[in-house]
Amino acid sequence: MRQISRVLIAGAGIGGLSSALALAKQGIKVIVCEQASSLGEVGAGLQISPNAMKVLRKLGLESRLRPFVFVPQHATIRDFKTGDYYLKVPLGEHASSRYSAPYWHLHRADLHRVLAQACLEAGVELLLDATVTHYAKNTELNQVNLFLNDGRTLSADLLIGADGIRSKIREQMLGPERPTFMGQVAWRGVIPVSELRTTIQPDACVWAGPGRHFVSYYLRGGDYVNFVAVEERSDWQSESWREEGDVEELKRAFAGWHPEVSDLLASASSTFLWALNGRRELSTWHEDRVVLLGDACHPMLPFMAQGAAMAIEDAYVLAQCLSRYSIGDALIKYEQVRKPRTTKIQQMSKANAGLYHMHGGAFGKMKLKALQTVSRFVPRVIQSKLDAVYGYDATKDISSLP
């Protein structure tokens, strides 16, 4: 009972393009408005877990992405000094078999490029230099109007706000509210393997330490190593969400860590610095013919590596709902299906910050030791928690989704 033929999307990030492709495959005309003057993605690596891969496969992208991936063998948590393993969960073939989809590492730019090309082939119109200012109901035509800063006005049956944590669409819908600084910053970078002074394990590795943690994993078939270094701070003053970082400051912050970390950082010549921000749970994700998706409605700390995955899941579930119900009912169903899951992942991500940063001093170290014991002797407990995240399949009939 679909009642839409034309959709506008604000934002051409991973979530916006995934949504555009999912809708275009239903024969819907989609126009994506992106404020940047060229189409591309900043950032570095992404961990694309099986739950996200099920959607990307359904969208026909698995074979296109395969040349760019690295397949990690384990998900690990290691001690920042000794290198001891607190957790070592198999991925690789084990993940593919258990979850019926692979666990891949991808450079964000590769995923974005493949998504953009697939969108263009599906007939999606991508407008660049198209900065959104506001939207308004068009009651006469039973549509929504979207206004751009160059004076253009676009109309459609539905507007999707996929414009990130500082979403203009969210702000108009729910009122102005600055994102909440979560007391942490993240350095990110990519290093060619040819420039490394050490060997990095072929895993998705978290190095846990007091007040900070370090993540390392391979990209692009093992030709590059991606790193994310997170440090707790209370003095962040910059208004920028992303700026060039001081590599020497980064090295000092992680001085004395395990040689695999310090030697990797010794090869780093540049880095970018992000403030990690969040928002309180929104009262609603939709209003009339306008709906939010991804970071626009549920930004999360990156400590479950699920930010992109949640936006990809959102995109597919929203498209399913719109193909099944009238617009009003579809948006209600979309929020009912997605909000509990994304809220749970947000909570898990926030809890992991305390674990990775050994909050509580000796007690924090004891929690990691307890995790080590459980993972060795009762691995099914750990596996069940991962199953709830990675085993989810957003491509199932929406009536069967929790």
Name the catalytic one among 217, 316, 390, 392.
217
Token pair 């961990």 is found at 47
Cα–Cα dist 156/394, whole Å = 26
Q: Is 56 helix (H, G, I), strand (E, B) or coil?
A: helix
DSSP lists the bridge partners of residue 292 as 161
State yes or no: is 217 an active-site residue.
yes
CA distance 63 to 328: 36
Rounded to whole angstroms, the Cα distance separating 39 from 50 reads 27
Residue 343: phi and psi, rounded to 5, are -65, -40
Burial class (CB in 10 A: 0-12, 13-18, 19+), 63: exposed
3-state SS track over the chain: CCCCCEEEEECCCHHHHHHHHHHHCCCCEEEEECCCCCCCCCCCEEEECHHHHHHHHHCCCHHHHHHHCECCCEEEEEECCCCCEEEEEECHHHHHHHHCCCCEEEEHHHHHHHHHHHHHHCCCEEECCCCEEEEEEECCCCEEEEEECCCCEEEECEEEECCCCCCHHHHHHHCCCCCEEEEEEEEEEEEEHHHCCCCCCCCEEEEEECCEEEEEEEEHHHCEEEEEEEEECCCCCCCCCEEECCHHHHHHHCCCCCHHHHHHHHCCCCCEEEEEEECCCCCCCEECCEEECHHHCCCCCCCCCCHHHHHHHHHHHHHHHHHHCCHHHHHHHHHHHHHHHHHHHHHHHHHHHHHHCCCCCHHHHHHHHHHHHHHHHCHHHHHHHHHHHHCCCCCCCHHHCC
Residues annotated as part of the active site: 217
